């Protein structure tokens, strides 16, 4: 019995040493640091799909570099703030990947697909291109006649004219001489096939008047 406890104690000690060695190896692995950086960035309340691609890529490079999926990470708790939830960085690299990286990517992809589906069913050609940013998945809202902004697929499909307040150019002063904030309303005209026929644009000092959305 005494021999059994001695062996058990040795096994526990060896496991703790291996875990410590693995953690130390991780800290020296640049791909692990990239994986952690992009996985944490992907937890933003409004994550960009490309960030998930970066964390998945970093994870694959880390594993290819020789890090075992079962490697335990040094535990860390990151406090919540205005843009990020509380993040518990613990477990194995595989578990973190499945929970926060590749798993999060699958959920976001599903959410984006569900959001895009009705827009892709109702819009086509230039209208669809202007509403959905293919790089980020972001959906843009446009004003219709009268100035009300919407992302309703049927309303956008039916309207021949859209409007968008694009503000002042970034390389120009954002305020007029009278102190009003500069704005610029762009008017888009489409044909029945949702192809863009042309745009016009007019600048204003302060909020655009109702006449800007005609």
Position 22 scores a pLDDT of 54
- Non-local (6+) Cβ contacts of 190 within 8 A are 126, 127, 159, 160, 161, 162, 196, 197
Average pLDDT (73-94) is 95
Q: Exposed/middle/buried for 173, CB within 10 Å: 0-12, 13-18, 19+?
A: exposed
User: Percent of the chain, pLDDT > 90?
Assistant: 66
Position 179 scores a pLDDT of 74
Average pLDDT (139-167) is 95
pLDDT in tens, 153-162: 999 999 999 9
Q: Which single residue is written with the structure tokens 């509380």?
A: 86
Position 175 scores a pLDDT of 82
Q: Which single residue is written with the structure tokens 């390389």?
A: 171
Which residue did the predictor score with more confidence, 98 or 47?
98
Which residue did the predictor score with more confidence, 8 or 39?
39
pLDDT in tens, 35-72: 999 999 999 998 888 999 999 999 999 999 999 999 99
Position 174 scores a pLDDT of 78
Average pLDDT score, the chain: 87
Span of 19-33, 73-87, 175-189 with lowest mean pLDDT: 19-33
Position 44 scores a pLDDT of 93
Position 138 scores a pLDDT of 87
Position 23 scores a pLDDT of 55
pLDDT in tens, 12-37: 443 443 444 455 578 899 999 999 99
The full set of domain ranges for the chain reads 2-118, 123-213
């Amino acid at each position: 019995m005494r021999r059994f406890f001695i062996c058990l104690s040795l096994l526990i000690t060896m496991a703790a040493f291996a875990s410590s060695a693995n953690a130390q190896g991780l800290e020296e692995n640049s791909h692990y640091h990239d994986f952690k950086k992009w996985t944490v960035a992907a937890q933003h309340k409004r994550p960009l799909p490309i960030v998930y691609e970066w964390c998945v890529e970093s994870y694959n490079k880390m594993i290819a570099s020789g890090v075992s999926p079962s490697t335990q990470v040094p535990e860390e708790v990151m406090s919540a703030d205005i843009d990020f939830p509380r993040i518990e960085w613990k477990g194995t690299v595989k578990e973190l990947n499945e929970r926060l990286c590749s798993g999060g990517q699958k959920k976001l992809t599903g959410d984006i697909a569900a959001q895009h589906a009705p827009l892709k069913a109702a819009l086509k050609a230039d209208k669809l291109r202007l509403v959905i940013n293919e790089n980020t998945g972001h959906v843009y809202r446009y004003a219709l006649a009268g100035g009300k902004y919407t992302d309703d697929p049927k309303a956008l499909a039916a309207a021949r004219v859209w409007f968008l307040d694009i503000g002042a150019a970034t390389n120009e002063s954002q305020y007029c001489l009278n102190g009003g904030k500069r704005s610029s309303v762009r008017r888009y005209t489409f044909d029945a096939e949702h192809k863009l026929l042309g745009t016009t644009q007019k600048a204003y000092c302060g909020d655009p008047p109702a006449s800007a959305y005609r």
